[in-house]
Amino acid sequence: MKNLYIIIFILSIVIQQASAYNLNNRDKSKEERKENNSLHSVTNQIVPEMFNFASYQFEYALKCVDEALENRTKDDQVTPRTINRDGTLKLVGPRDWCSGFFPGSLWLMYQYTKDSKWAKQAEKFSELIEIEQFDETSHDLGFKMYNSFGNGLKLTNNPHYRNVVIQSAKTLAKRFNAKIGSIRSWDWNRQVWEYPVIIDNMMNLELLFEATRLTGDSAFYNIAVTHADTTLKNHFRDDYSSFHVVDYDTITGKVRLKQTFQGYSDPSAWARGQAWALYSFIMSYRYTLTPQYLKQSEGIAHFIFSHPNLPSDLIPYWDFDDPRIPNVPRDVSSASIIASALYELSEYSDKNKNQYIAWADQILMNLIEHYRAEPGTTQGFLLLHSTGHLPGNSEIDVPINYADYYFLEALLRKQNLTDNKIYDL
């Protein structure tokens, strides 16, 4: 059966490459549109198969987590993040920025399968990090609390989850500085930075947008928009690539430094940073319908897919500008984020809709064919070959929970592509 799907994938890629066109090309002919629709039907057949695979893997993952919990060295290690160098499962505590992705993935499993066993597990692992709704030291409350409790709220309408989401937004809002116009990222490395803001921080704005939708209080919305506008102004280069870190003067509010922390160099394009930028600005457009956010998203997509160092399978190297390419690690997590973002971006772009879908489809098919774990291996993770922090010699060429989360989200968005909108707000 797996060989059959591999054949289907290969045929699909051939069809896709024959029908894909450049951003500035004219509309597709009737024959090309028919061919593109055929491509969609092929990949849609894969979605159920991939969720069957994910069900098997997560059943195994839950067993691995139970075993790791029995052998943990700290009581606050509650959720899986990645695999250690010795092959054992790495658990992290609620304060870890990745603590929400595993419960979030379980909620996505419930969303697709409607099987209550996944809701039960998602509830369990969400509750283990619930204390984070009060964590004023973290800018990652969106990653932690919205991916877990936010997804839970959408799927169950549990009033307690609503309260947790709102409280989390209130906590995150405390990190906003009106003079600078941004939410502060890290509190450490103060000998170098006064007020660092990382591109990743854009992803946490969804929590604030949702808080306004839930409460009617525009304060959350206004903070999110101000942060997005400041990021738009200061984080990007003329080619739409993004710096990783922008540091601000706390007195004047002006930019002090533009740097990287996880990328190859200050002027380089760290792959996951570009993925966060693409995803977050189209998400911000969803809530605001601000034309500049859509333009920025399309510019970022063009940067990524026109870059000479993007491999033919569309799975990025960890940094687009590492001079050692091709002898450097890939980053599957970036690919998953990009694919999910492209499906949403396609909903707002009449001109480039088919191209964005074609790129996302190709990414998904290549992830499935070449970067997927074997069933019953790798502690239950779905995808291999992500890169967390190469300059820090941490999490290089390993499975990581956020790669799996955005892979599942991309599959769900692909499945729902025939709806009027991926999101119905």
Residue matched to tokens 């990949």: 43
User: 130-146 pLDDT, tens per residue?
Assistant: 999 999 999 999 999 99
**Per-residue pLDDT, 422:** 60
**Per-residue pLDDT, 334:** 98
pLDDT category, 30, cuts 50, 70, 90?
very low
Binding residues: 140, 200, 260, 272, 276
Q: Is 393 left (phi over 0), alpha (psi -120 to 50) or beta?
A: left
- Residues of the chain above pLDDT 70, percent: 88
User: 252-279 pLDDT, tens per residue?
Assistant: 999 999 999 999 999 999 999 999 999 9
Q: Is 376 left (phi over 0), alpha (psi -120 to 50) or beta?
A: left
β-bridge pairing 245-248 and 176-177: unpaired
The 8-class DSSP code of residue 350 comes to T
Q: Which H or E run includes 409?
A: helix 401-415
Q: Which residues contact 226 (CB under 8 A, 6 or more apart)?
A: 176, 178, 181, 182
pLDDT for 38 beyond 50:
no
pLDDT for 32 beyond 80:
no
Residue matched to tokens 């002919």: 29
On the 0-12 / 13-18 / 19+ scale of CB atoms within 10 A, 393 is: exposed
Helix or strand or coil: residue 397?
strand
More confident residue, 43 or 112: 112
Give the number of other Cβ atoms within 10 Å of residue 324's Cβ: 9
User: 71-124 pLDDT, tens per residue?
Assistant: 898 889 999 999 999 999 999 999 999 999 999 999 999 999 999 999 999 999
Residue matched to tokens 């600005």: 281
Which of 340, 356, 337, 358 has its CA nearest to residue 423?
A: 340
Instruction: Judge contact between 22 and 374, C-beta under 8 A.
Output: no
Q: What is the pTM of this model?
A: 0.90
pLDDT for 172 beyond 60:
yes
pLDDT for 1 beyond 70:
no
**Per-residue pLDDT, 45:** 82
More confident residue, 264 or 3: 264
According to DSSP H, which parts of 204-270 are helical?
A: 205-215, 218-234
Phi then psi dihedrals of residue 135, to 5 deg: -80, 100
The residues carrying an active-site annotation are: 140, 200
Whole-number mean pLDDT of the chain? 90
pLDDT for 14 beyond 80:
no
According to DSSP H, which parts of 71-132 are helical?
A: 101-113, 116-127
Helix or strand or coil: residue 3?
helix
Which of 333, 344, 244 has its CA nearest to residue 294?
A: 344
User: 366-382 pLDDT, tens per residue?
Assistant: 999 999 999 999 999 99
Distance of CA 177 to the CA centre of its chain: 25
**Per-residue pLDDT, 122:** 98
pLDDT category, 417, cuts 50, 70, 90?
confident
Instruction: Judge contact between 142 and 104, C-beta under 8 A.
Output: no
| Token pair of 422 as six digits | 């991926």
pLDDT for 129 beyond 70:
yes
Mean pLDDT, range 421-425, rounded to an integer: 54
Instruction: Judge contact between 390 and 262, C-beta under 8 A.
Output: yes
Binding residues for substrate: 140, 200, 260, 272, 276
